[in-house]
Structure 1
Amino acid sequence: MKLSVIITTYNSEDWLRKVLIGYSVQTETDFELVIADDGSTEKTKQVIQSFSSKFKYPILHVWQEDNGFRKSEILNKAILKANSDYLLFTDGDCIPRNDFVATHLKHQQKGYFLSGGYFKLPLSLSNFISEDAIVEQNCFSIKWLVNNGLKANFKVSKLTKNKYFASFMNWITPTKKTFNGHNSSVFKEDLLAINGFNQDMHYGGLDREVGERLFNLGILAKQIRYEAICLHLHHERGYADPQKIAANLEIRRYNIKHNIIRIKNGIFAE
């Protein structure tokens, strides 16, 4: 297969269902889904099973016991289970446009990871989006979103379908090319070379830290935030802990300063 999509989730069945609908209508079908589940209940398993016939390959449900926020651990487990050499990382609250997978495959290149973005929706629109709106791709229409309550601003330009404008915006955007957990892709061998996600890190920058170690390895980044489009559904972040976020920042600063490539507590204990 061409690609494995690794989707993180935790007890967000309604959002995950919408995301899986988005992947069921991709223009590119030669990919597998790997659900990295950080301890959800049986309800999530039921949602995943309801989509079992929608894809070319079986959905892999990688689950671990609910023991607090352990996103790095479940991502590392999912990486090992993935069957493709190329991995696309996203979240269970990000609905992909129907060319999402194809766009990542189009831009993949040895020696690079791809840095995508998202367009964040308010809670009202997140709830309003129906299965039909995803299947028919109406929810990616700026006009449809505005007609259904979105307050238009410049950020909505991310949803443009003009490939020339998207390429131009990727070129001029001041946003850094970072490894984003909601929308980034990378070769599996490069992740293994840096020992995957840092299991010493809690919520707050753990994905960016992966990108920083990839840079230390010599891997570069390509900006595709205006071409690989996903809609970020609203949710609260009750697991955010300011002290742990600060500790994560210290880890990142140390790794950048000392050019750290492999961490000890990653996919493999070292």
Structure 2
Amino acid sequence: MKITVIISAHRKGRELECVLTGYAMQTRKPDQIIIAQDGRDPAIGAALEAVRRRGWTIPLLYQNQEQRGFGKYRALNRAVLAASGDLLLFTDGDCVPRDDYVANYVRLMRRGIFLSGGSHVSIPEAYHLRHDLLEAVRDQSLFDYGYLSAIPGFCKSANRLTRNRWLARALDLLTQRNAFSGSNSCAWRDDVLAVGGFDEQMAYGGGDLNMGLRLNHIGVRGVRARHTLVSLHLDHERSYYCADKERANHDWNRQVRHGRLVLPRESQIRTDFAQAV
């Protein structure tokens, strides 16, 4: 079973370098990583070159596109079509994985479900912009509660970072939620293709949930394992947020839920499959 990690990227080259360093430290390496960039910012290319100079060995594909508004889902659909893995792990270019992240996804994944790590464990922006975190990623001290709890503004329970598999499993069972998270979720590639990929008309706020709803409608259930699937989010402002667009997204998601819709309104994946038929 092969797993492709699809990383949504925009303009954060420094953060992406930390993220890729995290994947280089995995106990179970991904079989492929795809950088799906909305836009063509040179900082992303510089980050890729920096990790390659340090002896990068994981197959890596870099895709970018002309930016036309919020194009994350268009970029992700292009990556899905290019992916070679049976499993697709979706994450963001500012989410640093713990060294057991990929191994735990592969261990827990089974047919009929998608997996989600759920909500963020965030490192405040004021801290990570002032400190070089690369060495802490390499030696994994970044994931020690003692390290993180000393950061001003960090406010998560030590249980969110436990490495005790049985405690993590018990806590996961107590915090179940059937929801797809674009920064920390994994699905079978053929399931993603069956629902036509992501809805490219969605703006920020609700597009990932939309994917989960449509997966539910073909019989794929979401399983959250937030204490087992650990990554750290390098927090940031959200200048692209628009309340009106988020409300429109939620209105559409209600229609998708009540109508049990499966296919997105607009998607290159849906278009390609329609032309093939």
Measured against the shorter chain, the TM-score band is: over 0.9
Letter paired with 1:134: V
- Report the number of matched residues: 268
- Distance across 2 between alignment mates of 1:65 and 1:257: 34
| Residue equivalent to 2:103 | 102
- Distance across 1 between alignment mates of 2:190 and 2:103: 21
Note if contact 1:30-1:56 (Cα within 8 Å) is conserved in structure 2: no
- Distance across 2 between alignment mates of 1:57 and 1:162: 28
Deviation at 1:192, TM superposition (A): 0.5
Cα 1:55/1:86, change in 2 over 3 Å: farther
Deviation at 1:193, TM superposition (A): 0.5
Structure 1: 5+ residue stretches without partners: none
Letter paired with 1:233: L
* Cα deviation digits, residues 182-234 of structure 1 (max 9, x gap): 10000000000000000111111101110010001110122211101000111
- Distance across 1 between alignment mates of 2:172 and 2:56: 31
Note if contact 1:32-1:57 (Cα within 8 Å) is conserved in structure 2: yes
**Is residue 2:166 matched to residue 1:164?**
yes
Q: How does 1:39-50 map to 2 (within 5 A)?
A: 39-50=39-50
Letter paired with 2:134: E
Deviation at 1:134, TM superposition (A): 0.4
**Is residue 2:16 matched to residue 1:16?**
yes
Cα 1:240/1:148, change in 2 over 3 Å: closer
- Distance across 1 between alignment mates of 2:255 and 2:27: 42
* Cα deviation digits, residues 146-190 of structure 1 (max 9, x gap): 234454443x421111111111110111x5231100100000000
Cα 1:14/1:254, change in 2 over 3 Å: same
| Residue equivalent to 2:149 | 146
Note if contact 1:129-1:139 (Cα within 8 Å) is conserved in structure 2: no
- Distance across 2 between alignment mates of 1:121 and 1:30: 24
Cα 1:77/1:151, change in 2 over 3 Å: closer
- Distance across 2 between alignment mates of 1:215 and 1:258: 12
| Residue equivalent to 1:136 | 139
* Cα deviation digits, residues 104-162 of structure 1 (max 9, x gap): 000110111001133112123323252110000001000112234454443x4211111
| Residue equivalent to 1:82 | 83
| Residue equivalent to 1:233 | 234
**Is residue 2:177 matched to residue 1:176?**
yes
Note if contact 2:89-2:184 (Cα within 8 Å) is conserved in structure 1: yes
- Percent identical among aligned pairs is 33
Deviation at 1:263, TM superposition (A): 2.0
Note if contact 2:5-2:30 (Cα within 8 Å) is conserved in structure 1: no
SS in structure 1 at match of 2:200: coil
| Residue equivalent to 1:29 | 29
| Residue equivalent to 1:126 | 128
Cα 1:43/1:129, change in 2 over 3 Å: closer
Letter paired with 1:205: G
Cα 1:23/1:57, change in 2 over 3 Å: closer
- Distance across 2 between alignment mates of 1:184 and 1:30: 14
- Distance across 2 between alignment mates of 1:211 and 1:204: 13
TM-score, reference length from structure 1:
0.94
How large is the RMSD of aligned CA atoms in angstroms?
1.6
Deviation at 1:50, TM superposition (A): 2.8
Deviation at 1:30, TM superposition (A): 4.4
